[in-house]
Structure 1
Amino acid sequence: MLAFVGVVFGVIALIHYYLWKRLVKDTLRPGRARRAGTIAAVVLAILVPVTMAGVRSGEIAFLAWPGYMWLALMFYLLVTLAVLEVPRLALSLWLRHRKHAPEMSPVTAAGEPAAVDDLPAEAGDTVTSRAASRIEAGSDQSGIERRLLLARGAAIFAGLTAAGITGYGVKTALGGPQLDRVQLPLAKLPRAMDGTRLAVVSDIHVGPLAGSRHVSRIVDLINSVQADMVCVVGDLVDGTVAELGPAAAPLAGIRSRLGAYFVTGNHEYYSGYEPWLEEVTRLGLRPLRNERVELDGLDLAGVNDIGGEQFGDGPDFARALGDRDPARPVVLMAHQPVAAVQAAPFGVDLQVSGHTHGGQMAPFNLLVKLQQPVVSGLGRVDGVPVYVTNGAGFWGPPVRVGAPPQVTVIELRTT
């Protein structure tokens, strides 16, 4: 654990050193402004781990907004400046090539070029030396000015780009989830259940930046579709029941024909999963803890999140999916898409998941793909159809780019 924390601190330090070099050292001459920029870089480097640790513990939640907003800006500054490195290098090489253009020769009193060989030896040496010195000094000065201009232009472009993307991401994240409708065929679905609708929501992340208004808006959207069943697929909260119980209270207003069901996500285990299981039950959601229920001609199963293993509360696929009638279709609720690897041998007809946030902040989605087999939408894992919803909230920065918040309605169809 200490090694992991050390690596994280090291990465944060390296990122801020790079940003300091490109945005402060390269753009400002030595002096008061550069010292102020250096101090700001150090303060911001300290703010990131302090925010991540303090907000989770609830002790310094007031740092959530400034800390997480800087985290988003830092990310997009890093991405933009990294992309600019290639044209920066090309332009620097071109300017360096121009620097070595042919030098001007000394001239005679008549204004014509003079050959050094036509001058007295000492005079020729003096003229050549002085001309070379002037050219070299002027060249160095102009080179410094060009580098400064290039660095400032890149810094301004990166700053405006990062601020623009972050502002768009904040508007998207705080603007409420969109409703996506998907039709999926299930081969064993009885004709009487054709058109059954599942409202799937994940990653609501009730916390310091997302309170009861956030939850009420999601509940209203779910109720607007009049779903047959509601599947809340983990990561409901980022804090304890004592801290966030009132904010989660609107969940009691969820309405559906066959009930609302819940499985744990990894963040429930960071927040005290046992009190939260009691709380969601009190609010009218039924936790599916490595178990399944029969709903008309369909089995709905749920497994605990993989993150629960270190708490002695991990998934048990055999318990949830074994000894069932294979003629009945089964939909599995599992927080992480990768759970489908263990679910596949049990003949799961459809798995619904969250966890990835769709990547939340592109191009971070490319890294999520390294850990999860499906990042957003419908995919297949070892033959199991897996639908991954983007999630209705956000974690960390209140920013979403390329992955809008989402509640999904899956309409099951016979084939």
Structure 2
Amino acid sequence: MRYAFFITIFLLLQLFSAGTALSLQWWLAPWFSVMPISIAWIGVFTVTNGLLLLSVKRVFANSYRWISGWMLVMHFMLLTAFFTSLLYGGYWLAMSWVDMPLNESSVMDVVLRMLALAIFAGLFVYALYSAYVPVTRKLSINIDKPLAKPLRIAVASDLHIGRLFGSGAIDRLSRMMTNSEADILLMPGDIMDDNTEAFSDYDMQKNLAELCGSVPYGVYATLGNHDLYGHEQPISHALRDAGVQLLNDEAVCIEHAGQSIWIVGRFDNHKRQRVATTELLADIDTALPVLLLDHRPSDIVEHSQLPIDLQVSGHTHNGQVFPANSIVNAINRLGYGYEAIGKGHFVVSSGYGFWGIPFRLGSRSEIWLITVSGQND
């Protein structure tokens, strides 16, 4: 299975490279007509496979970011070629309808290529904006359990705190919590980007502590797969030292307007020894409101039959870059967004941060603000 995955990735990269070489060859044609066609092809395939080799061999730290970044460049080149073709096709049809001759001059060649450059740059700017400028998704739900006063829950999953997403993002989240007047913040996994190196180097503990202090009932979190890749203990200590109440296969009861509410947090399924949800629920009073943090949305169908009122998840990033959105939704019952299923309400966030490279296309960095009302409202 592992070899099949790597072979698939390798073949996809070669396909992307061929498309990129063709696009680059077309774009450079008016200015480098004397340049051999092979130059574009050799250059693109050399960069692709060189970066792939460096990434596989892990020659330097975070080498996967370089191959990811190059894949994004190639992807945007292909999208640029597609959009430019559509626009040129529209121009061709318009000229045909009004019975005017097509302008095949060198001026049109330059115009098309300048348009392609603008589309390419626009994709990068928009993707960068979508990664670093989060939105707030608002949702109101009603549960079939006593709740004397509505509870305002903020959800920020997949922060991936690291060198590319650090203290500024944490401070912005603090401001968002204050402005939203949230009672509590839930962070369902992937808090750190694999380790605590950047968190420590840039002294982000004070920023995270201020975030925890900005929310009346505090911040509750559970660990995701990226928090468990060999640095579980340092990450857990860093979060707890900053004031985050970490729930690793644990449940805690909080008071809200004299009403008890249970918050349950699960390990990500990367942790093979994690406790089953049914075991966690067996130790609490499920007649009271139950909130579940589960990093991956993979168990939503099973959880929809349990006395869970609200589950918040992340992990999918809503694909992060189009067209991965369709893959995410194809392999998950709920790959992104909100749905009431069975006995509960389920929210899967695209994440407050991002993975790998700071770009999003077809998805957006976000937090959710969920107002939960009960029978006694």
Normalised-by-shorter TM-score class: 0.7 to 0.9
- Counterpart of 2:99 in structure 1 is none
Q: Which runs of 5+ in 1 are unaligned?
A: 93-145
Q: Note if contact 2:268-2:295 (Cα within 8 Å) is conserved in structure 1.
A: yes
- Counterpart of 1:266 in structure 2 is 225
SS in 2 for 1:37: helix
- Counterpart of 2:126 in structure 1 is 168
> What is the 5 A alignment of 1:40-55?
40-46=43-49, 49=52
Larger radius of gyration: 1
Is it true that 1:397 corresponds to 2:352 in the alignment? no
Change (3 A) 1:268 1:319: same
- Counterpart of 1:294 in structure 2 is 253
- Counterpart of 1:11 in structure 2 is 12
Change (3 A) 1:90 1:222: closer
**Aligned equivalents of 2:318, 2:242: Cα separation in 1:** 28
Is it true that 1:71 corresponds to 2:29 in the alignment? no
> What is the 5 A alignment of 1:55-134?
59-61=60-62, 64=65, 68-81=68-81
> TM-score of the superposition, structure 1-length normalised?
0.73
- Counterpart of 1:220 in structure 2 is 175
- Counterpart of 2:185 in structure 1 is 230
Please list the CA deviations of residues 363-407 of structure 1 after superposition, one character each: whole Å capped at 9, or x if unmatched.
Answer: 331221112222333113455311122211111231123432112
**Aligned equivalents of 1:51, 1:287: Cα separation in 2:** 36
Please list the CA deviations of residues 319-362 of structure 1 after superposition, one character each: whole Å capped at 9, or x if unmatched.
Answer: 22224323212111111222222323322111111122233233
**Aligned equivalents of 1:179, 1:87: Cα separation in 2:** 34
> What is the 5 A alignment of 1:10-409?
10-24=11-25, 28=29, 31-32=34-35, 34-46=37-49, 49=52, 59-61=60-62, 64=65, 68-81=68-81, 158-175=116-133, 177-191=134-148, 194-247=149-202, 248-249=204-205, 250-253=207-210, 254-255=212-213, 256-270=215-229, 272-296=231-255, 297-308=260-271, 312-314=272-274, 316-409=276-369
Matched length: 354
Please list the CA deviations of residues 88-124 of structure 1 after superposition, one character each: whole Å capped at 9, or x if unmatched.
Answer: 99999xxxxxxxxxxxxxxxxxxxxxxxxxxxxxxxx
Aligned residue type for 1:32: M
How far residue 73 of structure 1 moved from its aligned partner, in angstroms, is 2.7
**Aligned equivalents of 2:7, 2:63: Cα separation in 1:** 25
**Aligned equivalents of 2:90, 2:366: Cα separation in 1:** 42
Aligned residue type for 1:182: L
SS in 1 for 2:228: helix
Aligned residue type for 2:17: H
Higher helix proportion: 1
Aligned residue type for 1:188: K
**Aligned equivalents of 1:15, 1:379: Cα separation in 2:** 35
Q: Note if contact 1:72-1:166 (Cα within 8 Å) is conserved in structure 2.
A: no
- Counterpart of 1:132 in structure 2 is none
**Aligned equivalents of 1:90, 1:315: Cα separation in 2:** 57
Change (3 A) 1:381 1:222: same
RMSD after superposition? 3.5
Q: Note if contact 1:26-1:151 (Cα within 8 Å) is conserved in structure 2.
A: no
SS in 2 for 1:2: helix
Change (3 A) 1:68 1:8: closer
How far residue 221 of structure 1 moved from its aligned partner, in angstroms, is 2.3
**Aligned equivalents of 2:46, 2:276: Cα separation in 1:** 45
Q: Note if contact 1:291-1:319 (Cα within 8 Å) is conserved in structure 2.
A: no
Q: Which runs of 5+ in 2 are unaligned?
A: 93-103
**Aligned equivalents of 2:59, 2:284: Cα separation in 1:** 43
How far residue 219 of structure 1 moved from its aligned partner, in angstroms, is 3.0
How far residue 170 of structure 1 moved from its aligned partner, in angstroms, is 0.9
SS in 2 for 1:337: coil
SS in 2 for 1:294: strand
SS in 1 for 2:17: helix
Change (3 A) 1:150 1:336: farther
How far residue 168 of structure 1 moved from its aligned partner, in angstroms, is 1.3
Q: Note if contact 1:58-1:239 (Cα within 8 Å) is conserved in structure 2.
A: no
Aligned residue type for 1:303: R
